[in-house]
Chains A and B, each alone.
Chain A
Amino acid sequence: MEFLIDGIYSAFLLVLALDQELVRVVVVSLKVSASSTVIAGMLGIPFGFWVATAEFHGRRFLITCLNTLMALPTVVIGLLGYALLSRRGLLGAFDLLYSQPAIILGQIILILPLVTSLMIAAISRIDERYRRTALTLGANRRQSALVIFKEARFGILAAIIAAYGRVVSEVGISMMLGGNIRGFTRTMTTAMALEYDKGLFALAMALGLVLVGLSFGMNLLFHFFQGKIGR
């Protein structure tokens, strides 16, 4: 017990002192995760909207595929990414391995199915009457799509926040595609893994505190917006 308390105490001191190493690592984490969330959002939101509203053969199959992809472990994506980005891989010439773009790429693959699925759920939840009402009031396809977007705004936001939470707390992709390079690709999670390996728990705990705090904040936001959906 003393071990845990000591650890948390030292961790708090590090956080309060804004230890440079800590800050740098947090910044890298936030930057990389924010980038991948934004890009995955830009891809997943329109795609999810289309799947939710279009009618085509194999729509259910596509949704099943997406749900399966959501359960893909980060290590699998990391492995596949490594195979692709390594110099010997297909995309080797781009020299992407062990860089932030590599992590971002891997993380986008991770959360794209998640964002799409949540988007589909958010849009499907929207009452069919909205579309009908917009149309009868004279809206064209694009304008009625905007109406649905507006009505689903909380659900969409919740999807983005969930995706961000998922991506800021993953290790496999950051480690395998980023290389945990100090100052460049060392994220909160890879730093924690390293410190644990080194046997130095203070920094690991401090990072853990930040991560938990961040996750907690994210979840609060998520539930806040989720709550607003069922108005």
Chain B
Amino acid sequence: MLYQLNHLQKTYGNRTVLDIPFLTIGSGKIYALQGPNGAGKSTLLHILAFLQRPSSGAIQYNNRPVPAAEAQLNRLRRQVVLVDQNPIMFSTTVYKNVEFGLKIRAVPRQQRRARIEQALALVGMEQFATASAFKLSGGETQRVALARALVLDPKVLLCDEPTASIDTENQTAVIEILRRINAENNISIVFTTHDRRQTDVLAHQTLSLNQGRLTGNTNENVFLARIETTGETVSRCILADRISLSLPTALIAAQVGSRIQVHLDPCAILIAARTAGFTANNTFDGRITRISAENGRVRLQVAAAVDICVRLSMSEYRRQKLMVGEEVRLHVGEDAVTVV
């Protein structure tokens, strides 16, 4: 899990800007953070970039709590780069702008040159290397800012409205760059937008934020469970007092009888017509209540003993020919279970 946010709140005075009970962000994916102005998108992005601290709640990065000390935060910030909505250029050349992060990391000169040229080529700004960064247009600035971030080989790229201040031609270019770096370099991307179309085109998953709260589907598949038995490798818990679920003991750090929060990854749940054969463990029957297309995939809402959400790729869905109201069988593998 790249990021995990628990009961995260950000307040300014008595104004609550962010209120997120639970959110996970997986690595290697592109997330769109969508919502109207003032929804708290930028704030959330800044928190993810370790530029701001939450007022309360916990945030984990790479399954470890985010430290408070500045020196350690600095180390984390070297893996996560934020590109502002209107990025500001240092008053020097484009080349030196892109060079900044590399110099900070004491990368030797030869390497710097090669990486900078590569980054500029990636964003299509090679011609501008010696240009004064201040004189660039909106789109050019955005692209140089991207190069400035990408040259550092970050694990995570956070973009605040990456296409907001640029013309359509450049917009397509930027979107294409983002898609490429995610596909080729496996860079996790979270970008904010208030353009719904972008979210469908680019993102694997969309998060909707409104007035600091996540709306829509992000709390899906989170259930309260009570631990029933614990064994050496496998334990059992009762999900929402209805379903019995077995999961690896390694995931639980609690006693029998205590309560934990469990999240089922909708993309990892197997679904098939009722007649298909699944192993008896962690298999539930239900009926499809709703099907919708989202981000190029298909989301199915299944009413089992609890409401479970399953996501399939378009091709898989077409192959199975599933329909609303159909009786189905779900299998939740142990890899689909996470303890919150």
Contact = CB atoms under 8 A, between A and B. Distances in A.
Given A136-B77, A137-B148, A137-B152, A129 B101 contact: no
Contact of A129 (B70, B84, B91): B84
A132 B101 CA distance: 13
A138 B88 contact: no
Contact of B90 (A132, A150, A231): A150
Given A129-B84, A132-B51, A133-B84, A138 B91 contact: no
A136 B146 CA distance: 13
From DSSP, what is the main secondary structure of chain B's interface residues? mixed
A138 B78 contact: yes
A226 to B, nearest CB: 16
Given A139-B104, A143-B104, A151 B91 contact: yes
A135 interface: yes
A137 B88 contact: no
B77 A138 contact: yes
A209 to B, nearest CB: 38
A137 B49 contact: no
B189 to A, nearest CB: 15
Interface string B83-98: 0101110110000000
A141 interface: yes
A21 interface: no
A127 B148 CA distance: 19
A137 B100 contact: yes
Nearest to A131: B51
A130 interface: yes
A206 B328 CA distance: 103
Nearest to A133: B88
Contact of A133 (B74, B80, B87): B87
Nearest to A127: B88
B105 interface: yes
Given A132-B51, A143-B104, A231-B134, A137 B91 contact: no
A216 B230 CA distance: 86
A136 B78 CA distance: 7
Interface residues of B, number: 24
A137 B80 CA distance: 8
B81 interface: yes
A136 B82 contact: yes
A130 B81 contact: no
A231 B134 CA distance: 9
A133 B46 CA distance: 11
A20 interface: no
A129 to B, nearest CB: 4
A130 B86 CA distance: 12
A77 interface: no
Interface string A135-156: 1111111010001001100000
A231 B91 contact: yes
B104 A137 contact: yes
Contact of B51 (A136, A141, A231): A136
A136 B49 CA distance: 7
Contacts of B101: 137-138
A134 B77 CA distance: 10
A152 to B, nearest CB: 10
Contact of A135 (B77, B88, B105, B152): B77
Nearest to A130: B88
Nearest to A128: B88
B209 interface: no
A127 B71 CA distance: 24
Contacts of B82: 132, 136
A138 B90 contact: no
B136 to A, nearest CB: 14
Nearest to A136: B82
Interface string A39-59: 000000000000000000000
Interface string A103-142: 0000000000000000000000001011011111111110
A139 B149 CA distance: 13
Q: Which of B49, B87, B91, B148 has the most CB of A within 10 A?
A: B91
19 contacts: A130-B90, A132-B51, A133-B90, A135-B77, A137-B100, A137-B148, A137-B152, A138-B74, A138-B78, A138-B81, A138-B101, A138-B104, A139-B74, A140-B71, A140-B74, A150-B90, A150-B91, A151-B91, A231-B91
The 8 closest A-B pairs by CB, nearest first: A137-B101, A129-B88, A138-B78, A136-B82, A140-B74, A138-B104, A139-B104, A138-B101
Given A135-B51, A139-B74, 17 more contacts: A133-B84, A133-B88, A134-B100, A136-B51, A136-B77, A136-B80, A136-B82, A136-B149, A137-B100, A137-B149, A138-B78, A138-B81, A138-B101, A138-B104, A139-B104, A140-B70, A141-B70
